[in-house]
Structures are given as structure tokens and as C-alpha cells.
């Protein structure tokens, strides 16, 4: 059976890598072109958007989406990986801070800041992933990266830690955030649990388990363009459609969208044509093709 392209909101189980999930989807759908948006740690669970067929060409438009997580932090313990899968480096007794102190510490991480990524990450140094170097006992200098935490809040106190929700920009390492929160509270710390609850428009409540995907492979597929709902839409006339699929810009249809705006383009039959960008020329606003997905004029 030939399966149409699309995107699946996968609920990745703990113990599988993101690549493992992609391999599973390839086998289930008999598709070679499969990719994912936003790597999730093997020990973590949660939302993993997986794209099939032509939809893989749209992954780049999801790369900058904010992500939301629920994490659990244990105070008084540090490991070499930053989570409970690693080797314990140190431990100490903990007197749990008051709730107000926990809230204050979490709130101090709101906004733009610099974060040093962990050694156990997939960032490449001289062609080698850092976690491969770390497993070989090699530590390298890591440059801080700018991240943005738009929301963070306490969920529940534990005997020796607490759980919290966080919404952050791409490239944020929650393991490193847990360690930094521990330092703010005066303790070593590690992440003991992580579930990703959202990637852009993909929410945990609508995610599908691998078992559900195996039973209803067609039903779980969604058109990738619908998940780009944050982009405004423009309907092309037949003549504009012809120009677009041949890579030629058109004078922009009447629109209140500003220059440099990306838009989803549809033909007169409401079929998704692709992604365009509005560009201000010396004379008028033009719509330039950026990613054409549909080219059948019939």
C-alpha cells in the first residue's frame, strides 16, 4: 500500500532515540524519506514530530519552534550526564528550600540568557559528537549559547526536589537548566524525569503512541501545512499558480501582510502549493516562491 506524505505527532517512549523512532516509522510506512523535528533525549518521553515523504521538505519551518517540557529535578546529587542515567559524581544531604525560594529560583531563569551545553549532547566538535568524546573520557571547551525561557513554573514539591514546567527556545538543554537551578539553590542537582509536552503546534494531548500508529497508520497522518497555522495564508489565482510553480514571483494579491512575511500559499481548489515570502520591490509588494510543494496544474 502507498501511503501519502504528511506529519505524525509521535509520543516517543523513554528508552528509544529519536533516530530509533524514525527507523520505526520508515518500516511501518515503507517510506525512505522520513525525518523529525527536534531531537529528544533517549531517556525522555514526549512529543516528537515526524515527517514523511514530501513533508520532510518542510522540517526547516519547524526548527525554530518553542518547546515545552515538564521536568523533575533532584537536589543534592550530580552526575556526569546531568540526569539519572549517568555516573554519580557527588552527593550530599539536602534541606529542602521553602516553596517561595523554589519559585524565586525558577523565576530568575526567565528571559534571554547564556547556557553552556552539556558534554553529553549531540553537538559536533571536529566531526565527533560530544557525547562520543565524553564516553571516551575526553572533555572539551564548550561555547555558551543564547537561549530564551519564556515561561517557567513550579508544579510540585518532592522529598528531595521538585517538578516544574518550562517553555523555551530551541537549543535549550533541560539537563543543564536543572544543574543551573540547583546551583542557584546552593546544591548539586540532576534531572530525574523529562517529558516534552509541546513542539510548536504539536501538543502532548494529541500525540500518538507507536502502538496506535501501527494499528491506524493513515488516521494519524496530518497534512504538514496545517501544523504551520502560525503562517498567514494567500490564495493564488490560476495565473499566479502557474507563475509560482515555475519559480517566478508575482505581484502580491491584495493583503495587509508586511514585507518579509512568510505565507502559506493555496490554489483555487484549496490545495497547498507551498511557502512564499513577501518582498518589497521598488514599485510594489511581490510574492516570491520559497518552497513549492504542489505542481500539478490539472
The set of catalytic residues is 41
Phi, psi of 163, rounded to the nearest 5 degrees:
-110, 150
Rg (CA), the chain: 22
User: Exposure pattern of 43-70 as b/e (b: 16+ CB <10 Å)?
Assistant: bbbbbbbbbbbebbbbbebbeebbbbbb
Give 154-215 as a DSSP string.
Answer: EEEEETTEEEEEEEE-TT--HHHHHHHHHHHHTS-EEEEEEEEEEETTEEGGG-B-HHHHHH
Place of cell 553552556: 116
Report the distance separating Cα 32 and Cα 179, nearest Å.
39
Phi, psi of 55, rounded to the nearest 5 degrees:
-65, -20
3-class secondary-structure state, position 51: strand
Report the distance separating Cα 36 and Cα 59, nearest Å.
7
Residues 21, 40 contacting (CB under 8 angstroms): no
Q: Which three cell numbers stand for residue 181?
A: 537551578
Amino acid at each position: 500500500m502507498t501511503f501519502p506524505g504528511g506529519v505524525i505527532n509521535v509520543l516517543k517512549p523513554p528508552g528509544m532515540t529519536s533516530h530509533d523512532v524514525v527507523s520505526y516509522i520508515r518500516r511501518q510506512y515503507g517510506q525512505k524519506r522520513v525525518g523529525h523535528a527536534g531531537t529528544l533525549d533517549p531517556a525522555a518521553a514526549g512529543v516528537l514530530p515526524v515527517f514523511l515523504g514530501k513533508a520532510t521538505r518542510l522540517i526547516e519551518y519547524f526548527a525554530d519552534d518553542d518547546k515545552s517540557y515538564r521536568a523533575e529535578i533532584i537536589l543534592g546529587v550530580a552526575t556526569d550526564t546531568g540526569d539519572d542515567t549517568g555516573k554519580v559524581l557527588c552527593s550530599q544531604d539536602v534541606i529542602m528550600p521553602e516553596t517561595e525560594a523554589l519559585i524565586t529560583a525558577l523565576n530568575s531563569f526567565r528571559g534571554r540568557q547564556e547556557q553552556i551545553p552539556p558534554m553529553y549532547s549531540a553537538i559536533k566538535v571536529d566531526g565527533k559528537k560530544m557525547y562520543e568524546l565524553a564516553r571516551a573520557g575526553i572533555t572539551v571547551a564548550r561555547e555558551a549559547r543564547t537561549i530564551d525561557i519564556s515561561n517557567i513554573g513550579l508544579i510540585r514539591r518532592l522529598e528531595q526536589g521538585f517538578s516544574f514546567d518550562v517553555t523555551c527556545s530551541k537549543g535549550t538543554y533541560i539537563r543543564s537548566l536543572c544543574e543551573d537551578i540547583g546551583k542557584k539553590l546552593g546544591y548539586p542537582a540532576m534531572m530525574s524525569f523529562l517529558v516534552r509536552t509541546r513542539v510548536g503546534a504539536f501538543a502532548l494531548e494529541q500525540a500518538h503512541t507507536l502502538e496506535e500508529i501501527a494499528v491506524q497508520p493513515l488516521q494519524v497522518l496530518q497534512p504538514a501545512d496545517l501544523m504551520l497555522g502560525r503562517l498567514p495564508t494567500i490564495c493564488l489565482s490560476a495565473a499566479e499558480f502557474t507563475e509560482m510553480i515555475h519559480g517566478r514571483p508575482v505581484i502580491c494579491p491584495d493583503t495587509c501582510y508586511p514585507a518579509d512575511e512568510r505565507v502559506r500559499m493555496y490554489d483555487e481548489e484549496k490545495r497547498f502549493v507551498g511557502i512564499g515570502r513577501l518582498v518589497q520591490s521598488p514599485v510594489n509588494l511581490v510574492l516570491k516562491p520559497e518552497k513549492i510543494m504542489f505542481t500539478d496544474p490539472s
